Structure 1
Amino acid sequence: MSTFRLAGLGRLRRLQEDHAAAELARRATDRRGAERRTADAREKLAGTVFAGSADPQTWRAAVAARASMSSLVLAAQAATETARGLEAEAQAQWTTARKRSKTVEKLAERHRAEETVAELRAEQQVLDELATQRAARRREERP
């Protein structure tokens, strides 16, 4: 049985695919964290209320706090969008790596199938030769 000449390439492709899958998982975790931070910031913003009868300084402080919280929400949303973009990029890289890995896997499968056919063909030739020799001996043994 001959060795598959692209076996090393197959191992490399699988390593690349594994690396891309790990990167995708990391990016998905980052995105989920960014989405959680955005949701938390929105909840905090929704929880800020203005006191109905407050002095001007208290009212200005509440306005400043709300403006600050709005900025945090916007920053969290931007971070979430960035994380989503990075995750989409990682998904595309994993898809490419998977396709490349699958291509080599299919070639390896085809190689194994061809090797199996060659082995069966060789075995059949041996069996045919044995049968031919047996038939020749029987003819020689007959008077």
Structure 2
Amino acid sequence: MIRRKTQLDSTGCGLACVAMLGDIGYAQARSLARQLGIVPKAPGEASGGATRGRRKAYYTSANELARMLRLLGARPGRERMLERADALDSDGILGINPNPRDGSWHWVVYIHDDDGGYVLDPNPRVRSERRNDLRRMRCRSFLPVHSRTD
């Protein structure tokens, strides 16, 4: 059974999703990310811009999450774009609530079950263990993930 883990960094939702699906702690996921060169970047840092006073962020792509999951023994599929979660038929990492202003989104774990599925949201402000309000989520993309036991 996959357990919900919350992100400890403001933009660590992808790391928390890897921790959930890889059955490791958040700190281990952060350490693995750093080993792979997935390090927090401040806005403008990649292009050489001034970063003093700006908060660093762990923005992660589906490819980076897939790399981490493979090292943990999971089998991620190919990321696909989608608009609605009700078409999903497997477990994986779902990108939701895209922000057109800065190009970011939020990663959550989608668990498929006989009742249509639910989401484990790593955001610590979300109080419920499972989210069933899939219709309220604006979907961006989905990274299917088969665990070590599938």
The normalised TM-score by structure 1 is 0.19
Tell me which structure has the larger Cα radius of gyration.
1
Whose helix fraction is larger, Structure 1's or Structure 2's? 1
- More relative contact order, 1 or 2 (CA 8 Å, 6+ apart): 1
More strand per residue: 2
Relative to the length of structure 2, the TM-score reads 0.18
